[in-house]
């Protein structure tokens, strides 16, 4: 086909029209070269333009979207040299330095604020950058990057957010705001509370946030509105030291999130030296969007490293280091949370999982502390290493449902897992230390390695006298008090290895010397460290616990005690330890060299040993009546074994409680099962 000829002058006219009506390339505008102020440059810019601001100080209030003249899309406002263009606001009113607003008339989207030194001072109150959008159909997409935002007490927030927004806040340093570094609202705005509305997206990445000065605010404080599905990401992109995301030195929490039910990720941050909690989570996540806290260093905060409250669907882990915090590593404790709005703060009521973390050297209560009642399930699993906490590893002071599976709980000053008060005081009665009803702490404790706890002489491995639940396949050894100490509501103690518990330091005048049995019942009548008391009740309200397939050996006092210890170990008390059917509940256990015994009682080889000696030896293993009286000798638990379990190694520091070939515990359990933590249907496998 022959090409049609177009006159040159007509073609030029067409190109001019295209340039004027939408075909123009984006322009670059310089301040002050082309326009004397940033605001005039914005008013004269077109969508997609870039405004380059030369070095200098610009004292002005910058607005986008507050009028038709400054509602522009995809506008880049950039300092020519990062940190050398200063925008400062000295207005005595309540205005920010940079205000980006969307409403029914229009929304400025795609805005980038890049590289400025933003200051707010000299009276009034306002944010460094305030992004607010009331338009429900178009989200205000704004990026604030590589800025320094600072000021005196008139800087109420570094970056303030409200409404329907998609904000990316990255690479900024925000220091010294009166309230939060990045926030939805502050108490001073109580008549104009701000929220993140549904489907908003906030990404906070590689920022340094420190030094807010009001006790009711946090480094980052974000609150959602109603049942919103806002998404929040707070992260660092480098694993260097220090991390690229640092939230520290704030007067309350480092990070506080509230009423946000979309996807929440807090990943690879350094959160430290904040005056309350490191991270505070209130009503976070949902069944379909589990919030995640992972790969963070959370340390040296005045209260807990992480505080959890409300209906929070949350996973803490993996790979958080949570250490040296004032009131514990992870705390379920609404009482420490300041109410900023009128909404009440409730105790945790949804599933929380704590997995694969290091939780250590925390003070006051425990590595993980259940202080308020919990109605949801908390699962502590996947080899959390919980150690050297000032009071205990896992402290349980109130009603809860706790699943403690496959953790290392070691070298804590008080108990490894304990119910009751956090006060390590021998004169303090633990009957008042647990705030829930009897048995209201429902515990599943399985496949844990629990050792070296009770360093101060207080507490043992597992001390759960207030709790109901089950204890099976745990390795509990070298704790300074008892191995497993339980009360009336525990229903099952099966396939545990409990060995070398007690503090035998060969100092008879030391009150902590020669204490600590293997598996011991206690009716809570005594103080924290008092000798266990009582006989397991036969009431229908107290189920007979199934105590099977356990190995209890080398403990300083009794190996397995469920009744009162008589004064004379060669005789039995008048009342039996069990009812007539109790034999169905406690049997098939191995005990050896507990309570000062020095041999295996001559069960099988030494026919010349007197019945009295055998009976005394057996009763020492059981702390009371381990055999029927009078002669002939008959074990109360006829399938129990008193013999060397043949552990691979009992050398302190290199213990190995697997069983050697030929161990009587192999096949000695119910139905020919292997006894101990490495036997049964659910052995320790890590």
DSSP states of 391-437: SEEEEE-S-EEEEEES-EEE--SS-SEEES-S---TTSBGGGT--S-
CA–CA separation, 532 vs 543, rounded Å? 19
Q: Is the pLDDT confidence value at 294 over 60?
A: yes
pLDDT of residue 583: 44
Q: Which of 486, 487, 484, 490 is nearest to 502 (CA)?
A: 484
Are the beta carbons of 280 and 304 closer than 8 angstroms? no
pLDDT of residue 192: 56
| pLDDT single digits (tens) 302-321 | 999 999 999 999 999 999 99
Are the beta carbons of 200 and 231 closer than 8 angstroms? yes
Helix (H) or strand (E) holding 17: helix 8-20
Q: Find out whether the peptide bond into 102 is cis, omega within 30 degrees of 0.
A: no
Instruction: Output the average pLDDT for the chain.
Output: 84
CA–CA separation, 300 vs 293, rounded Å? 18
Our measurement of the distance from residue 204's CA atom to the centroid of its chain's CA atoms, rounded to an integer in Å, reads 21
Which residue matches tokens 């908003």? Answer: 200
CA–CA separation, 639 vs 616, rounded Å? 19
Helix (H) or strand (E) holding 31: strand 28-31
SS (H, E, C) 119-169: EECCCCCEEEEEEEECCCCCCEEEEEECCEEEECCCEEEEEEEEECEEEEE
| pLDDT single digits (tens) 8-45 | 444 444 344 344 444 557 899 999 999 999 999 999 99
| pLDDT single digits (tens) 525-569 | 766 667 777 766 655 566 678 899 999 999 988 899 876 444 444
The 3-state DSSP class for residue 260 equals strand
- Strand-pair partners of 133: 102, 163
Structure tokens at 234: 């707070």
Name the pLDDT band for 409 (thresholds 50, 70, 90).
very high
Q: What are phi and psi of 444, to 5 degrees?
A: -115, 115
- Strand-pair partners of 100: 64, 131
Q: How far is CA 12 from CA 9, 15, 20, 512, in A?
A: 5, 5, 13, 99
SS (H, E, C) 73-95: CCCEEEECCCCCEEEEECCCCCC
Share of the chain above pLDDT 90, in %: 57
Q: Is the pLDDT confidence value at 655 over 90?
A: yes
Q: Which of 5, 389, 108 is nearest to 129 (CA)?
A: 108
pLDDT of residue 531: 73
pLDDT of residue 519: 94
Q: Which of 630, 617, 520 is nearest to 571 (CA)?
A: 630
pLDDT of residue 413: 86
pLDDT of residue 521: 87
* Residue range 283-301: mean pLDDT, rounded: 95
CA–CA separation, 487 vs 373, rounded Å? 20
Q: What are phi and psi of 336, to 5 degrees?
A: -85, 0
Q: Is the pLDDT confidence value at 109 over 70?
A: yes
Are the beta carbons of 325 and 278 closer than 8 angstroms? yes
| pLDDT single digits (tens) 585-615 | 778 999 999 987 776 665 534 455 566 666 7
| pLDDT single digits (tens) 323-372 | 999 989 999 988 788 777 667 788 888 999 999 999 999 988 899 999 99
Which conformational region is residue 334 in: left (phi greater than 0), alpha (psi within -120 to 50 degrees), or beta? alpha
Q: Which of 521, 517, 519 is nearest to 502 (CA)?
A: 517
Which residue matches tokens 């691979």? Answer: 648
CA–CA separation, 142 vs 472, rounded Å? 54
| pLDDT single digits (tens) 466-487 | 899 999 999 999 998 889 999 8
pLDDT of residue 353: 97
pLDDT of residue 624: 66
| pLDDT single digits (tens) 146-185 | 999 998 777 888 999 999 999 999 999 999 887 889 999 7
Name the pLDDT band for 509 (thresholds 50, 70, 90).
low
Q: What is the tally of helices (H) and strands (E) in the chain?
A: 3, 57
Which residue matches tokens 């409730």? Answer: 346
Are the beta carbons of 623 and 565 closer than 8 angstroms? yes
Residues 6+ apart with CB under 8 A from 48: 26, 73, 74, 75
- Number of alpha carbons in the 13 Å side-chain half-sphere of residue 156: 21
* Residue range 565-584: mean pLDDT, rounded: 44
Are the beta carbons of 627 and 637 closer than 8 angstroms? no
Handedness of CA 641, 646, 647, 651 (dihedral sign): positive
* Residue range 376-382: mean pLDDT, rounded: 96
pLDDT of residue 203: 98
Which residue did the predictor score with more confidence, 293 or 217? Answer: 293
């Amino acid at each position: 086909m022959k090409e049609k000829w177009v006159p040159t002058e007509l073609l030029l006219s067409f190109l001019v029209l295209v340039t004027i009506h939408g075909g123009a390339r984006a322009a670059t505008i310089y301040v002050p070269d082309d326009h004397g102020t940033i605001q005039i440059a914005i008013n004269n810019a077109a969508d997609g333009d870039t405004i380059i601001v030369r070095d200098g100080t610009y004292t002005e209030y910058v607005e986008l979207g507050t009028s038709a003249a400054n509602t522009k899309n995809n506008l880049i406002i950039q300092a020519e040299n990062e940190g050398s263009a200063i925008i400062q606001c000295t207005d005595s009113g309540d205005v920010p330095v940079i205000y980006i607003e969307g409403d029914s008339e229009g929304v400025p989207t795609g805005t980038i604020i890049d590289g400025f030194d933003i200051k707010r001072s000299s009276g009034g109150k306002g944010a460094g950058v305030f992004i607010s959008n009331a338009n429900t159909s178009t989200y205000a997409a704004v990026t604030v990057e590589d800025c320094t935002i600072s000021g005196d007490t008139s800087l109420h927030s570094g970056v303030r957010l409200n409404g329907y927004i998609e904000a990316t806040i990255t690479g900024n340093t925000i220091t010294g705001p009166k309230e939060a570094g990045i926030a939805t609202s502050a108490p001073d705005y109580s008549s104009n509370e701000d929220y993140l509305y549904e489907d908003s997206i906030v990404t906070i990445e590689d920022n340094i946030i420190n030094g807010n000065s009001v006790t009711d605010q946090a480094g980052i404080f974000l609150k959602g509105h109603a049942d919103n599905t806002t998404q929040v990401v707070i992260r660092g992109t480098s694993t260097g030291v220090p991390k690229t995301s640092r939230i520290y030195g704030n007067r309350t929490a480092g990070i506080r999130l509230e009423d946000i039910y979309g996807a929440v990720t807090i990943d690879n941050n350094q959160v430290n030296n904040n005056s309350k909690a490191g991270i505070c989570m209130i009503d976070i996540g949902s069944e379909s969007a589990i919030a995640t806290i992972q790969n963070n260093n959370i340390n040296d905060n005045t209260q807990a490293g992480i505080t959890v409250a409300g209906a929070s669907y949350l996973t803490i882990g993996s790979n958080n280091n949570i250490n040296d915090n004032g009131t514990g590593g992870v705390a379920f404790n609404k009482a420490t949370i300041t109410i900023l709005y009128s909404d009440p703060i409730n105790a945790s009521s949804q599933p929380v999982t704590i997995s694969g973390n290091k939780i250590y050297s925390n003070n006051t209560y425990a590595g993980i502390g259940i202080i308020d009642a919990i109605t949801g399930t908390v699962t502590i699993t996947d080899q959390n290493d919980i150690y050297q906490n000032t009071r205990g590893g896992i402290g349980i002071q109130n009603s809860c449902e706790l699943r403690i599976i496959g953790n290392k709980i070691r070298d804590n000053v008080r108990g490894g897992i304990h119910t009751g008060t956090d006060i390590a005081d021998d004169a303090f009665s633990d009957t008042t230390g647990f705030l829930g009803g009897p048995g209201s702490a429902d515990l599943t404790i399985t496949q844990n390695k629990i050792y070296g706890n009770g360093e101060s002489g207080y507490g043992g491995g597992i001390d759960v006298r207030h709790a109901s639940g089950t204890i099976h396949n745990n390795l509990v050894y070298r704790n300074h008090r008892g191995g497993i100490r339980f009360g009336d509501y525990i229903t099952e103690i099966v396939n545990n290895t409990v060995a070398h518990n007690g503090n035998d330091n060969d100092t008879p005048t030391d009150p902590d010397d020669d204490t600590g049995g293997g598996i011991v019942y206690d009716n809570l009548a005594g103080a924290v460290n008092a000798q266990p008391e009582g006989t397991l009740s036969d009431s229908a309200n107290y189920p007979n616990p199934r105590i099977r397939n356990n190995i209890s050996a080398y403990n300083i006092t009794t190996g397995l005690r469920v009744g009162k210890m008589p004064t004379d170990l060669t005789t039995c008390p008048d009342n039996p330890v069990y009812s007539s059917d109790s034999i169905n509940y406690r049997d098939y256990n191995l005990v050896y060299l507990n309570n000062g015994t020095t041999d295996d009682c001559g069960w099988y080889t030494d026919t010349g040993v007197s019945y009295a000696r055998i009976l005394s030896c057996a009763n020492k293993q059981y702390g009371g009546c381990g055999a029927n009286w009078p002669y002939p000798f008959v074990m109360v638990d006829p399938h129990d074994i008193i013999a060397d379990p043949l552990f691979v190694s009992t050398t302190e520091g290199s213990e190995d409680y697997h069983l050697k070939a030929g161990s009587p515990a192999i096949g000695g359990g119910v139905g020919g099962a292997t006894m101990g933590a490495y036997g049964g249907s659910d052995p320790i496998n890590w």
